[in-house]
Amino acid sequence: MLIELEIDAFIFQKSAFDLLIDARSPKEFCESHIPNAQNFYALNDAEHQEIGTLYKQVSRNDAKILGARYICQNVASHLERIAKEYKIGSKIGIYCARGGLRSSSIAIILSHIGYQVYRLQGGYKQYRFHVLTYLENLPHHRFIVLGGNTGCGKSELLQSLKPSIDLEKLANHLGSSFGNIKGAQPSQKAFENSLCEILSKIDPSATIFIEAESKRMGKCIVPALLHERMSQGYRVEITAPLTQRVERILKDYHDITPLFFDQSMQMIAPYIKKSVKEEVISAYEKGNLAEVAKILLIEYYDLVYKKPRHIDITLDNADERATLDALEALHVKLSTF
């Protein structure tokens, strides 16, 4: 069985798929893809480039014939794994770049074997249009925005609050000069895809917990309308004792490398006193990361933090359970309006 679906129907069915196949090349897949998709490519990176060049510069027919050969070879290698992990009759969603030959070739084979195959018309290009349209017309209006100085525990609070969106986790960035400690960030497209995936599962009328962030988090940019709605949200300023803030910082930066430390210090050097920079470097060279964190919090992060003009309430996070109870009670109160 092979059914062609337009984007809205495909999105509606997506949670029911036993397997979601991205038939594009590994390079395309790694750049961004529909969340939870697996890459069973029709053409690998080299083959995709070769076929494209042949199609444009030599002969369309020759390109189609060579492409078909490559697709048959690749599908043959994929079938063993698919058949092993997904029994015949399973529901499989599939897409390629524009809903063309790559996805249709694999879809036809799988459907003839006995799988229930649902192919996305317009492919990934249509999915991206769906994501951008959703984010540009965001149906969610109600946000409880957690702000506060670095290390106050906002991210930890979000992990226990529902519904919530952790932008730092999605962007794989802590939103500061030392924020890329987590490693490589997703592409902007991948960031938007994940964000749309989470938001679309939350009732538009719900009040959502989210952390106050600048528009840019490393190389990821928060969608304009979401950032605007965040600025209009109910603002909760979180505070915490300095000792606890230092402890939280050390959890994220306990294995900081000399190279990462040097690069990050170069970024903030224009914004701190020379004496402070020397003091931080000296503490780092002595292996005293707690002192490094303490100095940077007081002499850099707290100084550059811009507290908003309007704050609805302030909560001290010395006792996380008490803070969570207060936030959950606030959520119930605001959700009744």
Mean pLDDT of 305-312: 91
Q: Mean pLDDT across the stretch 25-41?
A: 98
Judged against a pLDDT cut of 80, whether residue 179 lies above it is answered with no
pTM of the shown model: 0.93
My answer on whether 106 and 167 are in the same domain is: no
Domain range spanning residue 107?
2-131
Mind listing the pLDDT tens digit for each residue in 242-263? 999 999 999 988 888 999 999 9
DSSP for 45-98? HHHHHHHHHHHHHT-HHHHHHHHHHHHHHHHHHHHHHHHHHS-TT-EEEEE-SS
What is the structure's pLDDT at 98?
96
Identify the pLDDT of residue 237. Answer: 98
30: pLDDT strictly greater than 90: yes
Terminal-to-terminal C-alpha distance of the chain: 48
**Catalytic residue ranges:** 96
Mean pLDDT of 222-239: 98
Check whether residue 289 and residue 313 sit in a common domain: yes
pLDDT given at position 206: 97
**Do 34 and 180 fall into the same domain?**
no
What number is the average pLDDT over the span 275-285?
95
CATH of the domain at 9: 3.40.250.10
47 plus 110 within the same structural domain: yes
Whether 28 and 156 share a structural domain? no
Look at residue 231 and give its three-state secondary structure: helix
